[in-house]
Each structure stands twice: as C-alpha cells, then as structure tokens.
Amino acid sequence: MTRRTRFRAASVIIACVVLAGFLFITPHAREVVRTEVPKPAEPAPVVALRDAYRKGVHSISGTLDVPDACATVSASADTAGTASSTETIRVALVVPTTEGVCLQVPSHAAFAVKVSAPASVRVSSVTVNGRTASTTGL
C-alpha cells in the first residue's frame, strides 16, 4: 500500500467513526420528552360600574373591555338575600365570542340593566362569562 492509499483509508475510517458517533449520541425527536408550558392565568376582567337609584329601581350601567370591536355585552341583574340587611345585587355579563371577520383591536362595550331593590342595597358581585370581575366606580 502506498502512503496516499493508507491516508485515504484512515480518513474514511475516521469519517465513519465520527458519523456513527454523531448518529448514536444526538437525541432523536421521538426520544425528547415534551413538557407542556402552563398558560399564564388570565387576569380578572375589569368592569366600570355606575349605580343610580330612582323610585325603587337601580339603574346599573357601565363599560367592559372586550377583545374586538364586534363584541357585544348582554347584562342581567338580580337580588340575592332575604333580609333587607343582607340583600345585595348581582350583575352577570355575557360576552359571546365573535364569529367571522372583525377588527382585532381591544375596545370598550357599554351595558345597562335595571333591577328593583331598596335604596340601601348595593352591587355585591359582577361576573363576566361566569368569572368574577373586579369593579371600579364611574
């Protein structure tokens, strides 16, 4: 064997060893353990409320931040509690998901609802799609 032939044979052997080592040492895609990244908790929705009382009726109005300009808010209110000292007003807001094409810009949506209750009764809880919301006064 000539010197050149031995050099080529050694080069081929070294290349095969490096390639085989690379194939056996690197992890394959099916061997990698996939861990799911937990979603961050969504903050409580913020609702701005105004409660006006007149002639036995509370008129509750306000605004809510919605994900797009096409979103609508439907509101309902009821009283909870039996005695006048424990009676409170609960407001439930529903924001359905919008279908179709809509400008994806956060916006404000207004709502208004009326409920009969004594003047001393206050709004105790506000929910948006079943989730408790934080409230601010207007």
Number of domains in the chain: 1
Q: Could you tell me the residue range of the domain that residue 94 belongs to? A: 46-137
Q: Would you list the DSSP string of 43-77?
A: PPPEEEEEEEEETTEEEEEEEEEESSTT---EEEE
pLDDT, mean of residues 83-88: 74
Q: Is residue 11 part of a domain?
A: no
State how far the Cα of 124 lies from the Cα of 87, in Å rounded to an integer: 9
Q: Is residue 5 part of a domain?
A: no
Q: Is residue 30 part of a domain?
A: no
124-136 tens-digit pLDDT: 889 998 888 888 8
Burial class of residue 121, CB neighbours in 10 A (0-12, 13-18, 19+) = buried
Q: Is residue 31 part of a domain?
A: no
29-39 tens-digit pLDDT: 565 567 787 87
| SS3 assignment, position 81 | coil
Say what the pTM is: 0.66
Locus of tokens 């929910």: 127
